[in-house]
Amino acid sequence: MKITYRKATLADIPDLARLRIVFLKEVQSPETHLVSEDGLDKILQDFFRQYLANDEIVVWVAEVDNEIVSTSGLCFSKIMPGFTLLDGRVAYIMNIYTLPEWRKKGIGRQVFHHILEAAKERNYKRVLLHATEDGRPIYEKFGFKATNDEMELRIE
C-alpha cells in the first residue's frame, strides 16, 4: 500500500467537498444543519474553487490508489494586532479528517504535519484549531495548548 501526500488541486474539489460533508456529519448533529447535503456540496465546491485558486487556503491530502483517504485545510486571516501577535496574522486548521478505515495508521498525523509546515512556510506565528476529544492528544504532541478564553455568538 503506497500512500501519497500532496497539496490539493482544483481537480480535487468534488472530493474535498464530499469529505468535508462526511466529516461534518460525523461531528455535528443533524438538527444543527442549516442546508441539505446537496446545498452544502455546492457551497463547498464554490468555496474551494475560489480560495484554492487564489491560494487563500491550503489543503493537503493523502491518497491510496488514487482515492483521497485523509485531508486537512489551512485558512488564513488577519485580526487586530496586539502585544502577543504583532502582525495580526492567524492560520486556522480546518477539517482534519481521515476516513474511518484508514485511521490509527499515522496518515492523518502526516497530513497534519504538512499543514503545519505550510503555516511555517508563510511565516504564521499563531495557528488555531478546534479539537475533538480524539484529536486533542495528537495536537498536544505537536505543541498545541488548550485555551478557554474564546466565546462565540451566532447571529441569525
Residue 95 grid coordinates: 477539517
Please write the tens of the pLDDT for every residue from 79-132.
999 998 999 999 999 988 999 999 999 999 999 999 999 999 999 999 999 888
* Core vs surface per residue 42-73: b (16+ CB within 10 A) or e: eebbebbeebbeeeebbbbbbbbeeebbbbbb
Q: Domain residue spans in the chain? A: 3-141
Tell me the C-alpha distance between 106 and 115, whole Å: 15
pLDDT reported for residue 126 = 92
**Is residue 150 predicted with pLDDT exceeding 90?**
no
Please choose, from the candidates 72, 95, 101, the residue with its C-alpha nearest in 3D space to the C-alpha of residue 25.
95
Please write the tens of the pLDDT for every residue from 15-74.
999 999 999 998 888 888 889 999 999 999 999 999 999 999 999 999 999 999 999 999
pLDDT reported for residue 105 = 94
pLDDT reported for residue 113 = 94
Backbone angles phi, psi at 66, to 5 degrees: 65, 15
Averaged over 125-151, what is the pLDDT? 84
pLDDT reported for residue 13 = 97
> How many Cβ atoms are within 10 Å of 111's Cβ, its own excluded?
23
pLDDT reported for residue 27 = 86
pLDDT reported for residue 58 = 97
pLDDT reported for residue 133 = 81
pTM passes above 0.75: yes
Tell me the C-alpha distance between 66 and 98, whole Å: 15
Please choose, from the candidates 70, 76, 117, the residue with its C-alpha nearest in 3D space to the C-alpha of residue 95.
70
CATH C-level class of 3-141: alpha beta
From the centroid of its chain, how far is CA 144? Answer: 15
pLDDT reported for residue 74 = 96
Strand runs labelled E in the chain: 3-7, 57-64, 67-78, 89-98, 126-129
